[in-house]
């Protein structure tokens, strides 16, 4: 009997959901660090299931939909519940709505992603991916508890949660994970090297480096958009100057040549 590998990606997705579910339980029991690391584990599994599906040629529309449902649990509900239990339960109704934003904006982003998906390979992400937003929230908690033993930067956390939620539904372009091929001349080699160095840094300094690197990726979208706008504005200014100069030269009358006197002066 021929064995099929189509179940393998779904198994990773199930583990992803379990990590999100277990994270919620840990957060409810005030074990915030464990809850945050379980979100990180879910993100690793989420990255692997797509890669494995493409390698095994087992990508399917069922897999896409199932993965999105898993993401709502692990990267929508789990980080929202973590944020609420860490700090926002003190804020009453306002805290409830603030902590709700990653879940609601994340679910909108996933729905938009699914209806716009063409094929199973993506050249780039439109809007901040929901796992990246969840990672930034979770590792911010780890970062604070590692250095101070509690969530010290509560106001920063407020802007972080809202800002990440909004970035998920923008049209900013974000880079995808590279296809791991070491063939000469492949354009992915730069991204592979970046991911490799980032992974090594995170392995060596997980509590210290994970949040800054996650935040750097989250900010890469608006930073890239700002760079393009500045570049286009500079190009338009140069083009406008060239057009003005050309128009001025075309309209200006030709200069008269200075002729010498026709007669010689008398002595």
Question: What residues contact 217, with CB distance under 8 A and at least 6 apart?
Answer: 132, 174
Tokens of 85: 């239990």
pTM: 0.83
pLDDT of residue 176: 87
- What are the per-10-residue average pLDDT scores of the chain (267 residues)? 65 95 98 98 91 75 89 97 96 95 96 80 85 98 96 94 97 83 61 90 96 96 91 70 63 55 42
Q: How far, in Å, CA of 252 to CA of 117, rounded?
A: 56
pLDDT of residue 189: 77
β pairing state of 173-175 and 124-126: antiparallel
pLDDT of residue 266: 41
Which residues make beta-bridge pairs with 243? none
- As its CATH architecture, domain 7-179+188-228 has Up-down Bundle (1.20)
């Amino acid at each position: 009997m021929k064995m099929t590998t189509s179940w393998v990606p779904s198994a990773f997705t199930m583990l992803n959901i379990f990590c999100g579910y277990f994270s919620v339980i840990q957060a409810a029991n005030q074990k915030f660090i464990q809850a945050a690391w379980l979100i990180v584990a879910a993100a690793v599994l989420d990255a692997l299931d797509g890669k494995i599906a493409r390698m095994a040629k087992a990508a399917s529309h069922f897999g896409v939909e199932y993965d999105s449902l898993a993401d709502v649990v692990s990267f929508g509900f789990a980080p929202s519940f973590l944020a609420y239990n860490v700090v926002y339960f003190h804020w009453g109704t306002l805290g409830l709505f603030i902590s709700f934003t990653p879940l609601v904006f994340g679910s909108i982003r996933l729905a938009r992603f699914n209806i716009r998906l063409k094929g199973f390979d993506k050249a780039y992400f439109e809007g901040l991916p929901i796992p990246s937003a969840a990672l930034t929230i979770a590792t911010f908690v780890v970062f604070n508890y590692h250095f101070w033993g509690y969530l010290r930067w509560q106001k920063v956390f407020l802007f972080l949660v809202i800002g990440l939620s909004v970035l998920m539904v923008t049209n900013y372009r974000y880079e995808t994970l590279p296809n791991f091929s070491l063939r000469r001349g492949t354009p992915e080699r730069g991204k592979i090297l970046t991911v490799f160095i980032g992974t090594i840094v995170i392995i060596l300094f997980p509590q210290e480096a994970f949040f800054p690197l996650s935040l750097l990726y989250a900010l890469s979208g608006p930073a890239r958009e700002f760079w393009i706008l500045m570049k286009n504005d500079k190009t338009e200014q140069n083009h406008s100057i060239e057009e003005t100069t050309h128009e001025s030269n075309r309209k200006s009358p030709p200069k008269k040549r200075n002729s010498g006197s026709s007669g010689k002066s008398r002595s």
